[in-house]
Structure 1
Amino acid sequence: MTLDFDTCYRAVVARDPRFDGRFFTGVTSTGIYCRPICPARTPARRNLRFFPHAGAAEAAGFRACRRCRPEASPGSPDWNTRADLAARAVRLIADGYADQHGISGLARRLAVTDRHLRRLLLAELGTTPIALARTTRLQTARRLLAETRMPVTEIAFASGFSSIRQFNASFQEVYAQPPSALRRPGGPGGQEAPGDAAADGTWLTLRLACREPFDGPSLLGFLAARAIPGVEHVDQDRYARTIRAPGGSGIIELVPPPTARQGQVLLRVRLTGLKGVGQVVSRCRKLFDLDAEPQAISAVLAADDILAPLIAARPGLRVPGAYDGFELAVRAVLGQQVSVSAARTFAGRLAGRYGTPLTAAGEPGPGDVGGTLTVLFPTPAGLADADLSGLGLTTGRQATLRALATACAAGKLNLDAGADPEETAARLAELPGVGPWTAAYILMRAGGDPDAFPGTDLGVRRAMERLGCEPGRADRWRPWRAYAALHLWAFLTEAPAV
């Protein structure tokens, strides 16, 4: 996003929620940075600076506002939709990659030197990879301090810090106060927290911001039809699944509007250990497409008079993402030329045979999924040399799955937050049995590419024919063709072929 001062200033004066998360406002007279919707009195124009990322504001010496809580804002769609190196680095840092592999590992993942990555982020954001990773950890910590009753010592490690001393020093340096200050009576930490959390497998509850409108029922319906037995479960108001995380394994639950409060999705997490919980939050945001800007997307799609009635019928329709890219890619391969229910059956068989049984911390919570979540989906290494006979798969499909697993296990194919769409498409095309439809579907859901379009999908073709759309008309829907595909499937009231 190009930060035009006048546009940003008007958004701040109006407290326009459309800009929440897209930029942050630094107030030079106070040294504080805020969200555009901050309820505090609008500062004088001469005292304002605007930043594309919270990390850039902190690098410039500003401290996060305790009233509007910048760490609780929706993510910027700009960083999530761009395919350039800087945006991929930002996404990987948000996913906890730098915490797990270090800055050198992050640079290697992006195939650049440490120095080049540093120069790039300094030019783009005015901050370094190290500082950006620290900002991400501190934002997770502030969220946990404000929204839970977790002990401060547990929050330090859950946020990705390697020691209590490092956590306290970073907090003091950036916010000029100790972490415990957020828990003092009358402060944000003194408010009623939505949930408890501890390292013994109890539930952690957080609220994830999203932009309205949000079509929760359609999202849950899409995921319900494809829920992998033992791995996922969906009912009328929530989605639940098993996950692997840096600190252990367990279960997540996501409750979207209208059951949850407007503009929020409720996240409940239960893990054997909460280290790196920021990664869980990042992946849940991707899974539910929480950083999308529905009004901007609808404005482009509704400009086509054929699509306009579809957009009006389902405002806030999201593109379902994926918690784990490899799992989604396997699901796409299993869905080739079979029904949705058949693909779901195959995925359940695969998970049942080669998945990992869930640990005790993954026991279902009160009244949620009835004990149906029992297994973690297989890893790439676990399927690379697996005997896939007896699952009902064709010989060709078995070969495709093994090739996919081998490529992911070897690091030749990356389906994580830092994946480059063009490179991913090229690597997928090298695999036996992966054609344009499979690649587009993987890019759309696992890659988060908002313009990926499975144009050869039978459901998409039928919907376009019924609407009188010639094939070339889809070019009008750029750069949001993935959302157009979801609207076409919904119009047909017929599941896509996966």
Structure 2
Amino acid sequence: MTLLRLFPHGPTDCEATLRTLAAHTIPGAEETDLASHTHTRLLRHAGEPVRVTVTFTEKEITVNLPDTVPDPAGLAAPVRRWLDLDADTERIAGALAGDPLIGPLAERRPGIRLIGYPDEFEAVVATVVGQQVSLAAARTFMGRLVTAYGTPAAGLRTLPTPRELVAVPDTELQAAVGLTLARTRTLRTVAQRWADGFTLAHLTAGEARRALLALPGIGPWTADYLTVRALQHPDTFAPGDLVARRALGSVTADQARTIAERWAPWRSYALMHLWADAAYTPPGRGRTRA
């Protein structure tokens, strides 16, 4: 095995990172082991899927990969992007420290990072599949999708490509995954768009949001969520997110948007703090409330 050692800029909250990954782990495609602080999945490199195991510690992140992988150092940059390792978490936590709600969360978890996805299309598919359902249901749907249409590789399975999904009839895709017909059609719509070469890369946050909202079945929450998780834009909030709104005292979307203005230019990190506190906190641990 080849070992890459990656050093993040500033502190990293390993527990929050692992629990974020675990909450979205796709059965059959990923494995998260909280006890060993590891996450295993396939990353595409040099045109092939490569099985990697990422181990998290407070000081560094190590990446184990097969010795047969060409140019293993070439995986360092995409892993750093995926895990947001170049964000200055100390500076971000300091900027949020004075806020009465986010300040205590930033003090508790100064190393919160904007965990993204290694692949943009994966982010889009996972978000569409996860619309208006629980995290557990979203994992189940994604696992079915991977089982039905993914390709086996190194003991795991890849996510189907846009072209592979486009080739699947609506009725077959719906039956295999268990989505509603409307959600199935949205999934195939985005698959067709990405198969045609569309990408969010190099778009501004505003451009990306407008492009996403132009797609049938994509609403404001999905567009905001993808701006945060796929683009990893540092200053986006999702005022329609129910978890965030509950954390803010069960406010309306407009009220949540107004409250979030005080966290600029780090609104995405504030949102990650709210998610971590409400959704990724271990059982029995106290949570901060608005």
* Bin for the TM-score computed over the shorter chain: 0.7 to 0.9
**Residue by residue, what CA displacement relative to the aligned partner does 1:364-418 show, whole Å, maximum 9, x if unpaired?**
xxxxxxxxx421111111112313121211111111111111111111x2144x3
The match for 2:284 is: none
SS for the counterpart of 2:163 is: helix
**Residues 326, 402 of structure 1: CA spacing in aligned structure 2 closer, same or farther, 3 A cutoff?**
same
Work out which of the residue numbers 127, 130, 137 in structure 2 matches 1:332. Answer: 127
Tell me the equivalent position of 1:266: 62
**In 1: Cα distance, 2:273 partner to 2:132 partner:** 21
2:111 corresponds in structure 1 to 316
Cα distance change on mapping 1:355 and 1:493 into 2, 3 Å: closer
- Distance in 2 between residues matched to 1:409 and 1:247, nearest whole Å: 17
With 203-212 and 345-354 compared, the bigger mean Cα shift is at 203-212
Please name the residue that 1:301 is paired with.
96
- Whether the aligned pair in 2 keeps the contact of 1:243 and 1:250 (CA below 8 Å) is yes
2:158 to 371, 376, 380: 376
- What amino acid sits opposite 1:256 in the alignment? F
The residue number in structure 2 matching 1:431 is 215
User: Which residue pairs with 1:255 in the alignment?
Assistant: 55
Q: Does 1:409 align with 2:195?
A: yes
Give 1:445 deviation, angstroms: 1.2
Q: How many Å separate the matches in 2 of 1:454 and 1:278?
A: 35
CA distance in 2, matches of 1:271, 1:345: 33
Structure number with larger C-alpha Rg: 1
**1:251 and 1:269 in contact (8 A); partners too:** yes
Superposed displacement of residue 273, structure 1:
4.1
1:239 aligns with 2:34: no
Paired residue type of 2:21? L
Q: Give the direction of change, closer, same or farther, for the CA distance of 1:351–1:272 in structure 2 (3 Å limit).
A: farther
- Tell me what 2:230 maps to: 446
Q: Gaps spanning 5+ residues in structure 1: where? A: 1-202, 363-372
State the Cα deviation string for residues 98-130 of structure 1 (Å, max 9, x = none): xxxxxxxxxxxxxxxxxxxxxxxxxxxxxxxxx
1:250–1:271 CA contact under 8 A, matched in 2: no
Q: Percent identity?
A: 39
Aligned residue identity for 2:66: R
Unpaired segments ≥5 residues, structure 2: 282-290
Could you tell me how far apart the structure 1 residues matched to 2:69 and 2:274 are? 41
Number of matched pairs: 273
State TM-score, norm by structure 1.
Answer: 0.52
> Which structure ranks higher in relative contact order (CA pairs < 8 Å, sequence separation ≥ 6)?
2
In the aligned structure 1, how far is the partner of 2:68 from the partner of 2:124?
A: 27
SS at match of 2:174: coil
Question: 1:317 Cα deviation (Å)?
Answer: 1.0
TM-score by length of 2: 0.88
- Quick one: distance in 1 between partners of 2:69 and 2:41? 17
- Give the Å deviation of 1:490: 2.4
What CA deviation, in whole Å up to 9, does each residue of 1:186-211 have, x standing for no partner? xxxxxxxxxxxxxxxxx221111102
Measure, in 1, the Cα distance between the counterparts of 2:157 and 2:151. 5
Moved over 6 A (4+): none
CA RMSD of aligned residues (A): 2.1
Separation in 1 of the partners of 2:231 and 2:78? 12
